[in-house]
Amino acid sequence: MTEAIAKQTGSLHYVVLVHLTALPSWLQLTRSQRQAVVAEHVRPAIDAYPAVAVRWIDTEGFSADCSDVLMADTDDLRAWNHLFESLRDTPIFAVPYFHLDRLVVGAEDAYIDYENATIGDASGTDLAEVRKLVTMKRPALVTARRPLG
């Protein structure tokens, strides 16, 4: 990437969706045991990476595909990767308590970043103005996280 293109593109905002299914090993724990696993293992892993905002979404009452979705917002894919590696070292995956069904990573407005990098000024279009028109207001990153289970 040339220096000029790098200046145009800036950084991207990423959203990560991790589809999980709770396994019998998790479901057989009492609610207080689940909370203890989260407090002792999961919460410290999440808190170690403040550049990643994490939300836990229960889906079992609405979907047969997975029981839970971990949703992460970040501008720092390295921080996300380190957080996920940390989570892999917890009982969530080591026992395992959950099965990883699907992991989807997307970049918000990546097409605009691409257009700015490749056609920007040549098109005569002010892509920053286009972005203002088409970008939905992103909710503030969630900093208060709910416990699993």
Spell out the domain ranges in the chain.
Answer: 14-108
Q: What is the mean pLDDT of residues 91-97?
A: 97
89 has pLDDT over 80: yes
Q: What is the pLDDT of residues 6-45, one digit of tens each?
A: 444 458 999 999 999 999 999 999 999 999 999 999 999 9
| pLDDT score of 117 | 82
- The alpha carbon torsion through 139, 45, 42, 146 (nearest 10 deg) reads -20
Under CATH, what is the fold of the domain 14-108?
Alpha-Beta Plaits (3.30.70)
129 has pLDDT over 90: no
- What is this structure's pTM? 0.74
CA distance 88 to 93: 5
Q: What is the mean pLDDT of residues 88-116?
A: 93
Which class for 136: exposed (0-12), middle (13-18), buried (19 or more C-beta within 10 A)? Answer: exposed
CA distance 60 to 28: 16
